[in-house]
């Protein structure tokens, strides 16, 4: 039986903790935690991510532009991590670690980040 190909990041089981990684550490950590996803690439586009932080009221959103040569899945996770760190520095009680539960597809270019 042929394995179904994922169409979006919402179709993937990604193990990840957003934790202010340096890019080269992010790549290594992603490869260790998600070896079967290491070679996946994201289609070049501008993507919007919606997230509800545990330390803030309501949801926030941000955009990330994906283009070659920065289209690897780990690079997207690193970019999201950097955006989360930018938002969280305004909340001093935040411990800098948010565990990813899943991505939920809202439309073709918008995804909600669900935290555990």
Sign for the CA dihedral angle at 100, 98, 41, 103 comes to: positive
Mean pLDDT of 65-86: 88
Q: How far is CA 77 from CA 3, 4, 59, 102, 111, in A?
A: 24, 23, 19, 12, 13
Between CA 107 and CA 61 the distance in angstroms is 14
Which tokens hold the place of 8?
Answer: 């979006």
Residue 79 near residue 67, CB atoms below 8 Å: no
pLDDT tens per residue, range 77-100:
999 998 888 877 777 666 667 899
**Which residue ranges make up each domain of the chain?**
9-115
Tell me the pLDDT band of 111, cut-offs 50, 70 and 90: very high
Tell me the pLDDT band of 106, cut-offs 50, 70 and 90: very high
pLDDT tens per residue, range 1-12:
556 778 899 999
């Amino acid at each position: 039986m042929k394995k179904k190909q994922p169409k979006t990041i919402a179709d993937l089981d990604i193990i990840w903790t957003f934790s202010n990684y340096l890019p080269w550490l992010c790549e290594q950590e992603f490869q260790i935690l998600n070896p079967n996803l290491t070679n996946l690439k994201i289609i070049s586009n501008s993507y919007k991510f919606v997230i509800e932080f545990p330390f803030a009221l309501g949801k926030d959103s941000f955009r990330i532009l994906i283009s070659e040569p920065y289209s690897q899945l780990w690079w997207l996770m690193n970019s999201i991590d950097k955006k989360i760190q930018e938002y969280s520095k305004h909340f001093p009680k935040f411990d800098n670690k948010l565990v990813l539960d899943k991505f939920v597809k809202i439309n073709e270019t918008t995804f909600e980040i669900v935290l555990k």
